[in-house]
Structure formats: structure tokens, C-alpha cells
Amino acid sequence: MPAAGTPARFAVPSTTDLNPIWHPSPNFGSRRDGLGPSLVVLHYTAMNSAQAALDRLCDPQYEVSAHYLIGCGGTLWQMVREEDRAWHAGAGEWRGQTDINSRSIGIELDNRGDHPFSEPQLATLETLLLAILSRWKIPPSGVLGHSDMAPGRKIDPGPRFPWSRLEHQALAAQSGAGDCPQNLTQEAFRAAARAAGYTAQTDDDTLLATVRLRHRPSATGPLHPADFAALIP
């Protein structure tokens, strides 16, 4: 593997219609095993400002990065070329596949996790997603939250993220409205979740909480038929 952060790799950022501000991070490497982007993983920064997040994502001490950061005012920074492997996802699994960093493009959203996402930020995200999905031939089902692939370890982009807005523009998979078996069991729910992509090992309560973060963020209480239905196209 070539050494991470070599100056030649900083030369040309990926192009988008948004003209992102190029702010290179030294925290990246080559995608492994010849993999290219087949997923997009959305995060929130959980920091007090976009500048604080930018500093962290570009600091070699922390060994974290993302391909893009979108400020609450809609400003877009790019830190790692899409062709390269940013260090944003960490340990996790989706559809039985690990090393999500080698398979994905990471987008950080300037948000602490305790307030709504801004209109300018979401507008920039939508334009960026449209370009990325087109460029890499990624289907809407390939757009994930960090929580989806790291259940119990991560909860971002959190319950305030407006997934339905992306769904309406075919920028994320639609939540289902399928039929639920008359006698819903935890085993049936786990099988439906696994078929939908949730293959990481986790306990029943964490799996339910993870699915709800994406599909039913206001839901509480025990397993409900609507939890199962949300997973069925």
C-alpha cells in the first residue's frame, strides 16, 4: 500500500458541480483489494462547529477523516479524494461485508446531534449525493447512516436526520410498508433486518433501536409490527 498522505495524492480533488473547498487531510490510504465506492455513509460531527470538525478530521494525531464535510450553512469541504480510502466508518458490517472504509464515501454533517439539520446543509447534501451516486453507479439502497453499519457503537446521523426527504428524491432506500406476519417473533424481525442489510452481530434490543433510528425514530417500546413492515419493500 502506498504511504498515506503523500503530497502527490493531494493534487486533484474529485470534481462536483458544488466546487468543494479542498482542505486535504493526511488521514487516508488506498482502498483495499481493488475495491471502489459502493456505499455512502452519513455521519454527524458531534462537535460545536464545522471548523472544529475540520481541524479534527485533518489532524494526524486522531487518525480520522472523511471525504466531505458539510457545514450548517451549506459550505462543502473535501478532505480526501473519492478514489481514496478515508478513515470514517471504523469497525462494522453491512450486508455481510466488512472494511466499510474501502467500500464507501464518508460525508460528515456539521451537527451536534441534538438539533435539526439546516436547510442549506441538506440542500448541499442532496446535490452532493446526486453527483456521487451517479458517478459511482451507487443505488439509493447504498446510502447508509453510520448507525446502520455499526449498531450499538454509533447512532449518527441520529433520530433528527430527515431520511424521508432523501427517500422522496431516490437518494436513499424507501422505508417499506410490507405485510407483517400475524404472530411477529423476534426471529422473524431479525431475519427481515438481516435481509435488509443489518448483518452485524448485535443483541435484539440494539438491533431494534438501530432499525428504528433509520426507519421509525420516534418509536418506543417493545417490538411492533410497524418495525417489521418498515423493512419489507
Q: Please, is 132 exposed, middle or buried when counting C-beta atoms within 10 Å of its C-beta (0-12, 13-18, 19+)?
A: buried
CA-CA-CA-CA torsion sign (177, 198, 106, 37): negative
Of 82, 93, 108, 119, which one is the catalytic site residue? 108
State the cell numbers at 163: 431520511
Distances (CA, A) of 203 to 72, 140, 151, 207: 35, 27, 9, 6
Task: Please give the full DSSP string across 89-113, using - where no structure is assigned.
Answer: S-S--BTTB--HHHHEEEEEE---S
For this structure, is 82 an active site residue?
no
Catalytic residues: 108
